[in-house]
């Protein structure tokens, strides 16, 4: 079975994009990874309408990517903060890979607005692909794709 003969019905990239593959969802995650937690902060920082933001947060919470935690400011009603779960943090390599590509190809001449480095040694981060055997970083040519056990033919 070639890739073209393989059904995309149970493709895990497609299912992932069904959850987070919308620009504003990924930008909510970007802000969450940078410490943003409150509805109004997301809204103001991203310049997003309440309705769109609420919808994206609902999807991310339903997917277990964000969790809600109650907080209460003096004299105000209880509200919720949004915090990344472990499942949410596991999208960090996706975010760093997007940033790496963007820093290379879309930054203004003076550079990107955010500089992310290894806390210990101060060197910049890189998103790379390695193998479980300890080899890498790998290039696409060094990778071999074949149908997995769950591959189904296009019907």
Interface of this chain with a second copy, residues 36 to 55, rule: CB under 8 A: 36, 41, 45-47
> Can residue 102 be called a binding residue for a second copy (CB under 8 A)?
yes
Q: Compute CA distances 70 → 37, 52, 58, 81, 111, whole Å.
A: 11, 21, 15, 6, 38
Tokens representing 144? Answer: 């071999």
Residue 83 binds a second copy, judged by CB under 8 A? no
Q: Is 79 in the site for a second copy (CB under 8 A)?
A: no
Cβ proximity to a second copy, 80 vs 112, nearer residue: 112
Rounded to a whole number of angstroms, the minimum distance from the CB of residue 35 to a second copy is: 6
- Distance CA(20)–CA(29), nearest Å, equals 9
Yes or no: say if 57 and 48 are a contact pair by the CB < 8 Å rule.
Answer: no
The answer to whether 25 touches 88, Cβ cutoff 8 Å, is no
Query: Which positions from 11 through 40 interact with a second copy, judged by CB under 8 A?
Result: 11-19, 21-23, 26-27, 30-31, 33-36
Number of residues that bind a second copy (CB under 8 A): 95
Verify binding: residue 155, a second copy, rule CB under 8 A: no
Q: In whole angstroms, what is the distance from residue 9 CA to residue 85 CA?
A: 27
- In the complex, minimum distance from the CB of residue 7 to a second copy, in angstroms, rounded to a whole number: 7
CB of 59 to a second copy, least distance (A): 13
* Residue 52 beta carbon to a second copy: minimum distance, rounded to whole angstroms: 14
Contact partners, residue 109, CB within 8 Å, separation at least 6: none
């Amino acid at each position: 079975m070639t890739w073209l003969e393989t059904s995309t019905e149970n493709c895990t990239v497609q299912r992932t994009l069904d959850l987070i593959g919308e620009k504003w969802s990924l930008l909510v995650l970007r802000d969450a990874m940078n410490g943003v937690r409150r509805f109004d902060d997301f809204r103001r920082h991203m310049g997003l309408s309440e309705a769109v933001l609420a919808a994206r947060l609902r999807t991310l919470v339903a997917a277990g990517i964000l969790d809600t935690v109650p907080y209460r400011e003096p004299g105000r009603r209880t509200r919720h903060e949004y915090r990344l779960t472990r499942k949410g943090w596991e999208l960090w390599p996706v975010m760093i890979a997007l940033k790496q590509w963007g820093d290379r190809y879309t930054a203004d001449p003076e550079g990107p607005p955010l500089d992310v480095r290894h806390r210990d040694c101060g060197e910049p981060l890189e998103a790379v692909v390695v193998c479980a055997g300890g080899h890498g970083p790998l290039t696409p040519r060094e990778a071999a794709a074949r149908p997995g056990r769950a591959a189904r033919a296009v019907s």
